[in-house]
């Protein structure tokens, strides 16, 4: 890593029982062409050999937590400890292209209005196939991965403003986080990145998709199953309650209610499945937590600085806004 007392970039890796994946991730950081950065691995009380693996990487600062605080808790612990002006979240089941950090550092320097940055994420085992080219939200309030499962044929090889960065390889300007806050610890896991993107967009910060910042993701290792279904069901409601603006609601309320109804109906039709029942439990928990989210909403909406027309453009095909000419 660099010799600077305060590194320019901080890479935060949340880890829970990720011993098989950590070497690939950390070796890819050792290979970075940009050297002025620190690595912080936040361990969520792993019960596997993660801490033993990390002893082979003395350049990484390890923050062991006494209990599993979820993705949000681990990331926030790392963000609080980070020193860089740019902080990056990186899943433990990823490998970064050698120029990943260099490209991100240059982009933040070139675009002062950018507060968050989305990498080009490709599948680890099918490197010609997208996981995401930045995330987007449709008028019904549901989030999506842009380009997911598409073959990489150059269709997303141009930088553009998008709605959100996937938390598996997201970069944030510290100054923005100081203004809008960190990840919401109430979320624990799932859609915390979309929630943060809503807060950033409403406060007037831009999200840049940068195709030259490439990360390969072992998608199957990161989630899915009953746990993800519960938190997806709950947190979708919370994202809407906290962030969806009133003027958008007046235009798109039918689509929003339709999205909630479709999610619930799909789970009801498949209620014999564990994931479907977990989604329904999550939605019930989401309803129970709505008063708390509404209280948070007041501050978020009070800080809004962006017009509805801009949000509508990001939420409509092709789910991007071209950068201004040089």
Report which secondary-structure segment, H or E, holds 110. helix 100-110
Q: What is the pLDDT of residue 2?
A: 45
Determine phi and psi for 259, rounding to 5 degrees: -65, -45
Q: How far apart are CA 171 and CA 33, in angstroms?
A: 17
What global pTM score does this model have? 0.95
Q: Assess contact for 47 and 19: CB atoms under 8 A.
A: no
Looking at residue 1, its pLDDT comes to 53
**Burial of 246: CB neighbours in 10 Å, binned 0-12, 13-18, 19+:** exposed
The pLDDT value recorded for residue 272 is 81
Low-confidence residues in the chain, pLDDT < 50:
2-4
Question: Which tens digits make up the pLDDT trace of 273-290?
Answer: 999 999 999 999 999 999
Separation of alpha carbons 100 and 206, rounded Å: 20
pLDDT attached to residue 207: 98
> What is the tens place of the pLDDT at every residue in 161-199?
999 999 999 999 999 999 999 999 999 999 999 999 999
């Amino acid at each position: 890593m660099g010799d600077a007392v305060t590194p320019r970039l901080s890479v935060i890796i949340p880890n829970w029982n990720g011993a098989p994946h950590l070497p690939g991730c950390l070796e890819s950081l050792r290979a970075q062409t940009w050297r002025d950065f620190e690595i912080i691995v936040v361990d969520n009380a792993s019960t596997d050999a993660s801490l033993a693996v990390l002893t082979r990487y003395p350049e990484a600062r390890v923050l062991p937590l006494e209990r599993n605080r979820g993705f949000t808790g681990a990331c926030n612990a790392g963000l609080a400890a980070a020193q860089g002006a740019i902080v990056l979240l990186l899943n433990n089941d990823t490998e970064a292209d050698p120029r990943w950090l260099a490209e991100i550092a240059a982009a933040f320097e070139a675009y002062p209005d950018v507060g968050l940055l989305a990498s080009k994420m490709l599948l680890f085992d099918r490197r010609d196939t997208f996981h995401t080219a930045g995330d987007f939200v449709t008028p019904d309030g549901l989030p999506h991965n842009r380009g997911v499962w598409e073959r990489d044929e150059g269709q997303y090889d141009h930088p553009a403003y998008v709605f959100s960065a996937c938390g598996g390889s997201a970069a944030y300007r510290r100054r923005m986080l100081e203004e809008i806050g960190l990840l919401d610890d109430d979320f624990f896991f799932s859609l915390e990145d979309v929630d943060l993107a809503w807060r950033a967009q409403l406060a007037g910060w831009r999200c840049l998709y940068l195709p030259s910042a490439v990360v390969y993701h072992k998608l199957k290792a990161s989630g899915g199953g009953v746990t993800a279904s519960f938190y997806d069901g709950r947190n979708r409601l919370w994202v809407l309650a906290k962030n969806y603006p009133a003027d958008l609601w007046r235009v798109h309320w039918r689509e929003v209610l339709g999205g909630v109804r479709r999610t619930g109906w799909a789970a009801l039709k498949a209620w014999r499945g564990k994931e479907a029942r977990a989604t329904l439990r999550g939605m019930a928990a989401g309803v129970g937590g709505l008063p708390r989210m509404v209280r948070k909403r007041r501050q978020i909406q009070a800080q809004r600085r962006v017009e509805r027309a801009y949000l509508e453009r990001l939420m409509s095909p092709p789910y991007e806004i071209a950068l201004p000419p040089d």
